[in-house]
């Protein structure tokens, strides 16, 4: 028997083996990620990202040492580049520069971590389209971030960011930008470069104003500026033609913004401000509005023009100073929810108010001048064409509406119905008119807005238009106008109109100087070729400058 005690078992090949990495990521996940191109490591308590993740597509996998047969079912060499990496809800405080080893990433989700900074090498992810960095502790952003020109979605909400550099404008393909719940005091003018942006969320910052350049984002559909310190809205916001949702709640606004070009606006949220006055100018262009929220303001009355919002479904006037309601409110055909709690309403019994929206609207209809009667002669006239003209709208809303009748001419009875009432708005759209009705001149002293869209007009008489001294909006869209006479520039001051979007065919618009008259003009759907689409896309000012340059000297 040997005197020496037998030693513990020794692996004679241990020195030739690579030390295994202490990796909290199961190897099976990494193996699956090489096949699918996606790796989800959310909610795993990671304090750092293992090297095996960054080197997923660069290192030779373990199975390569065990299987070298080209006929094997598990073909480890047929890898897919990682395109989607989810690292949300971990405990990451920083990110390695090695993130650049995944150049094919399209989606990188890092939300709900403890990130204080980001590596500049993140800018090497040239194909990245979606970057989610919300709910971290970022105070600034690396310069490399602005090299991600293919980025379409950037979420930075719930961080500690105080300033966004002008470099933001380099991300020209962004369509979704969320900067909410930060410490921003302003936003860069370069925002104007983001022509493809559809959603912009600035909720809960420290903004006192919005840059005029924001109006350059012509495709923007949703803008949320709630919970800031805004005291006013730049007038150019009215030029955002594609806007569908506008949130301005919890600010310091004293006036509702006027949005003459926002024809597609569906939701306007202005609750918790200091708005006192609601005027016709605030409402008359919002024909697509389905939700108007004005709760917790100081509104004292509603104008009769509230009835112009024919598509309105929800109206929230909770906690204002409204003492009475216009009876015309009861005629809104789609109104389903009317919230009036907290208003000093007089003349409406409490039991009516407590029965809900339907009963309240029924009550308001019964209080109209015709007493809710089914007889219509007091509020409507039946014309020889069997179409009706709403006399009540003429008297109370100053609106003469004879649209969608497919008539070749406007019956005299329509103008006779005006009597001596002042008319500010005329809508003769969607008919078969080949010329502007001559009797429209009878309304010259008060007429401001004319809608002649969707007719068959072939020309426009500048002499006729010149007599309309108060004209402010002229809609000639979708007609057969071959040219616009230069004399049209002699019209009186026009405060507002609709921005041109001209469909081109064969003819050319004659030049005219509108620099001191029109801010815009609705001519879309007419058969002329110039100005070119490239000029039109730059906005009204560029179009007017072009027209001025074409005036013969």
pLDDT averaged per 10 residues, the chain (length 553) = 49 46 74 91 94 85 56 62 95 95 96 96 97 97 96 98 96 97 95 95 96 90 97 87 95 89 92 92 86 96 89 95 91 93 88 88 82 43 54 76 86 85 86 89 84 85 76 78 66 40 37 40 68 60 63 65
Is residue 469, in this structure, part of any structural domain at all?
Answer: yes
What is the rounded CA–CA span in Å between residue 153 and residue 198? 10
The Cα-based distances of 330 to 22, 353, 356, 378, 398 in angstroms read 71, 13, 13, 17, 18
Contact call for residues 200 and 240 (beta carbons, < 8 A): no
Task: Provide the token pair at 418.
Answer: 């005006």
Work out the burial of residue 131: count CB atoms within 10 Å of its CB; fewer than 13 is exposed, 13-18 middle, 19 or more buried: buried
What is the rounded CA–CA span in Å between residue 331 and residue 334? 9
Is residue 354, in this structure, part of any structural domain at all?
Answer: no
Is residue 241, in this structure, part of any structural domain at all?
Answer: no
Is residue 324, in this structure, part of any structural domain at all?
Answer: no
The pLDDT assigned to 143 comes to 95
The CATH number for 391's domain is: 3.80.10
Beta bridge partners of 109: 86, 132
What is the rounded CA–CA span in Å between residue 177 and residue 7? 66
Task: Provide the token pair at 29.
Answer: 């996940």
Contact call for residues 185 and 207 (beta carbons, < 8 A): yes
Q: Which domain holds residue 427?
A: 380-549
Q: How many domains does the chain have?
A: 1
Contact call for residues 160 and 182 (beta carbons, < 8 A): yes
Task: Provide the token pair at 44.
Answer: 């795993």
Contact call for residues 257 and 237 (beta carbons, < 8 A): yes
Give the list of residues 6+ apart from residue 192 with CB closer than 8 angstroms, or none: 169, 211, 213, 214, 216, 217
How many angstroms separate the first and last alpha carbons of the chain? Answer: 123
Q: How far is CA 3 from the centre of its chain?
A: 89
Q: Which H, E and C letters describe 299-330, residue by residue?
A: CCCCCHHHHHCCCCCEEECCCCCCCCCCHHHH
Backbone angles phi, psi at 100, to 5 degrees: -70, -15
Is residue 529, in this structure, part of any structural domain at all?
Answer: yes
Task: Provide the token pair at 444.
Answer: 């010259």
Is residue 286, in this structure, part of any structural domain at all?
Answer: no
Is residue 542, in this structure, part of any structural domain at all?
Answer: yes
Q: Of 469, 523, 530, 522, whose CA–CA distance to 505 is shortest? A: 530
**Which DSSP category does 502 fall into?**
P
The pLDDT assigned to 535 comes to 60
Is residue 25, in this structure, part of any structural domain at all?
Answer: no
Place of tokens 């109006």: 215
The pLDDT assigned to 251 comes to 97
């Amino acid at each position: 028997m040997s005197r020496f005690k037998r030693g513990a078992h020794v692996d004679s090949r241990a020195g030739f083996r690579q030390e295994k990495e202490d990796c909290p990521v199961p190897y099976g996940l990494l193996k699956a990620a090489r096949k699918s191109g996606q790796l989800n490591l959310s909610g795993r308590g990671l304090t750092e990202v293992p090297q095996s993740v960054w080197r997923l597509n660069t290192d030779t996998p373990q199975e390569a040492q065990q299987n070298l047969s080209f006929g094997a079912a598990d073909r480890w060499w047929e890898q897919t580049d990682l395109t989607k990496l989810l690292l949300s809800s971990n405990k990451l405080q920083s990110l390695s520069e090695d993130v650049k080893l995944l150049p094919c990433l399209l989606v990188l989700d890092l939300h709900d971590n403890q990130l204080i900074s980001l590596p500049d090498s993140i800018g090497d992810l040239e194909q990245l389209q979606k970057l989610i960095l919300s709910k971290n502790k970022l105070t600034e952003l690396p310069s490399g971030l602005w090299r991600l020109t293919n980025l379409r979605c950037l979420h930075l909400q719930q961080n500690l960011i105080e300033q966004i550099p002008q470099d933001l404008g380099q991300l020209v393909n962004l369509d979704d930008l969320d900067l909410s719940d930060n410490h921003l005091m302003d936003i860069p003018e370069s925002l104007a470069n983001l022509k493809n942006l559809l959603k912009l969320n600035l909720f809960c910052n420290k903004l006192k104003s919005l840059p005029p350049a924001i109006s350059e984002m012509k495709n923007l559909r949703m803008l949320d500026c709630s919970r800031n310190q805004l005291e006013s809205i730049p007038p150019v916001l009215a030029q955002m033609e594609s806007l569908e949702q506008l949130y301005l709640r919890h600010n310091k606004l004293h006036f509702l913004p006027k949005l003459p070009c926002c024809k597609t606006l569906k939701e306007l949220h202005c609750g918790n401000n200091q708005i006192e006055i609601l005027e016709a100018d605030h409402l008359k262009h919002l024909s697509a509005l389905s939700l108007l929220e004005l709760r917790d303001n100081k509104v004292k009355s509603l104008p009769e023009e509230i009835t112009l919002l024919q598509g309105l479904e929800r109206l929230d006037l909770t906690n204002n100073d409204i003492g009475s309601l216009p009876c015309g409110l009861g005629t809104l055909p789609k109104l389903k929810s009317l919230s009036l709690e907290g208003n000093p309403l007089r003349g409406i019994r409490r039991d009516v108010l407590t029965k809900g929206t339907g009963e309240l609207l029924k009550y308001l209809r019964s209080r109209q001048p015709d007493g809710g009667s089914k007889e219509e002669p007091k509020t409507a006239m039946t014309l020889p064409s069997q179409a009706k003209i709403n006399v009540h709208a003429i008297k109370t809303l100053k609106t003469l509406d004879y649209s969608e009748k497919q008539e070749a001419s406007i019956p005299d009875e329509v103008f006779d119905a005006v009597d001596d009432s002042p008319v500010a708005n005329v809508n003769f759209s969607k008919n078969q008119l080949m010329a502007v009705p001559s009797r429209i001149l009878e309304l010259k002293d008060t007429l401001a807005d004319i809608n002649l869209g969707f007719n068959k007009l072939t020309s426009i008489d500048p002499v006729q238009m010149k007599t309309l001294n108060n004209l402010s909006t002229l809609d000639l869209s979708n007609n057969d106008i071959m040219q616009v006479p230069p004399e049209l520039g002699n019209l009186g001051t026009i405060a507002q109109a609709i921005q041109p979007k001209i469909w081109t065919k064969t003819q050319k618009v004659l030049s005219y100087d509108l620099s001191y008259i029109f801010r815009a003009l609705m001519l879309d759907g007419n058969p002329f070729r110039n100005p070119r689409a490239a000029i039109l896309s730059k906005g009204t000012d560029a179009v007017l400058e072009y027209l001025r340059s074409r005036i013969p000297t």
